[in-house]
């Protein structure tokens, strides 16, 4: 079967296509004939050698863990992540076939395409977890044109929340505007915060300098939820400033740790809600499996919009 492997830690160029033996399913396992693979920002970090304390991956390995495809004619999505030393690591996804536990197979609703379904395998649970922390009527979403960001914008707008969407560049800000955001700001400008009135909460998928700037826009008594590292690191607001202003800071480690069963429930809920038209993922670009390096390069260059997928 065809796979992509991380030969060694480094830039996108360390991703190399390879041909390996077909997987042999063990008891209680099934082989998914993959039609699309999810590409996460986390995949690019691990490829570069980041996060060894949390994700003990060792080259060579097959990155990624969200797949969609067929099992005996049924359309299913599945998460191929593996437990290594008590840590769940996202591996085994960039492949034309994947052996997974039958308990991990989730049917794809008729109202979704394969690509739409796999786009929700990881961002669906993220969406559901973050929504539980939303408070107030005015919310700033950073990285609003990313995979999780576009879902958050749509669902918050549906709930009647006044959404301020922040993204970089005309293509991304236009997308966020089309999703119904009340206002959109381009944080490619160093003065992007100047025109943003205080918000009740920030959902920060950008991190880094952008996330810290967004923190300053939270009104006293509001919430700042940091869940993304698109800026290279999680935002780390000053604890003294947060305490003085009564701002509750919620980091990724504060989000509920999901068991496999609970994660499955959240994926199923998201698939059902998306199939009913409550919101839809935005798939900005697809690449052939063999061009996984180009997919990672696009993400690194901040050129990717919405979800990025690989197609075997």
Q: What is the pLDDT of residues 194-234, one digit of tens each?
A: 989 999 999 999 999 999 999 999 999 999 999 987 766 78
Determine the Cα–Cα distance for residues 3 and 127; give it in Å rounded to an integer: 29
Q: What is the mean pLDDT of residues 14-21?
A: 97
pTM of the model: 0.95
For the chain, the average pLDDT equals 95
Q: What is the mean pLDDT of residues 255-279?
A: 93
Looking at the domain covering 133-254, what would its CATH class be? Answer: alpha beta
Residues of the chain with CATH 3.40.50.720: 133-254
248 contacts: CB under 8 Å, gap ≥ 6: 222, 223, 224, 242
Q: What is the mean pLDDT of residues 246-259?
A: 86
Could you tell me the pLDDT band of residue 43, with boundaries at 50, 70 and 90? very high
Q: What is the mean pLDDT of residues 106-127?
A: 97
Q: What is the mean pLDDT of residues 280-299?
A: 98
pLDDT at residue number 41: 93
Could you tell me the pLDDT band of residue 258, with boundaries at 50, 70 and 90? confident
- Please check the confidence at residue 135 and state whether its pLDDT lies above 90: no
Q: What is the mean pLDDT of residues 38-67?
A: 93
> What share of the chain has pLDDT > 90, as a percent?
88
Determine the Cα–Cα distance for residues 16 and 294; give it in Å rounded to an integer: 11
Residues of the chain with CATH 3.90.180.10: 2-122+258-311
Q: How many alpha carbons lie under 13 Å from residue 152 in its C-beta half-sphere?
A: 33
Least confident of 19-28, 177-186, 226-235: 226-235
**Superfamily per CATH, domain 2-122+258-311:** Medium-chain alcohol dehydrogenases, catalytic domain (3.90.180.10)
pLDDT at residue number 231: 63
């Amino acid at each position: 079967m065809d796979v992509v492997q991380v030969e060694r830690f480094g830039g996108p160029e360390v991703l190399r296509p390879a041909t390996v033996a077909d997987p042999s399913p063990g008891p209680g396992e099934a082989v998914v004939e993959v039609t699309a693979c999810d590409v996460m920002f986390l995949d690019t970090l691990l490829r570069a050698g980041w996060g060894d304390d949390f994700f003990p991956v060792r080259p060579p390995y097959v990155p990624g863990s969200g797949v969609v495809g067929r099992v005996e004619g049924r359309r299913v999505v599945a998460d191929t992540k593996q437990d290594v030393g008590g840590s769940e690591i996202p591996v085994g996804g960039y492949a034309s076939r994947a052996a997974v536990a039958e308990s991990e197979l989730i049917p794809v609703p008729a109202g979704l395409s394969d690509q739409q379904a796999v786009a929700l395998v990881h961002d669906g649970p993220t969406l559901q977890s973050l929504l539980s922390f939303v408070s107030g009527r005015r919310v700033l979403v950073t990285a609003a044109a990313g995979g999780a960001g576009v879902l958050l914008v749509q669902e918050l707008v549906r709930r009647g929340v006044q959404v301020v969407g922040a993204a970089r560049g005309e293509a991304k800000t236009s997308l966020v505007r089309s999703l119904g955001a009340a206002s959109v700001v381009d944080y490619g400008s160093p003065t992007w915060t100047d025109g943003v009135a205080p918000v009740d909460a920030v959902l920060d998928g950008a991190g880094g300098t952008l996330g810290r700037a967004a923190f300053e826009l939270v009104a006293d008594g509001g919430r700042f939820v940091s869940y993304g590292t698109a800026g290279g690191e999680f935002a780390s607001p000053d604890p003294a400033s947060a305490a003085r202003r009564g701002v509750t800071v919620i980091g990724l480690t504060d989000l509920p740790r999901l068991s496999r069963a609970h994660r499955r429930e959240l994926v199923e809920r998201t698939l059902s809600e998306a199939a009913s038209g409550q919101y839809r993922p935005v798939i900005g670009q697809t690449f052939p499996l063999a061009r996984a390096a180009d997919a990672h390069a696009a993400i690194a260059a901040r050129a990717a919009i919405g979800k990025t997928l690989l197609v075997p």
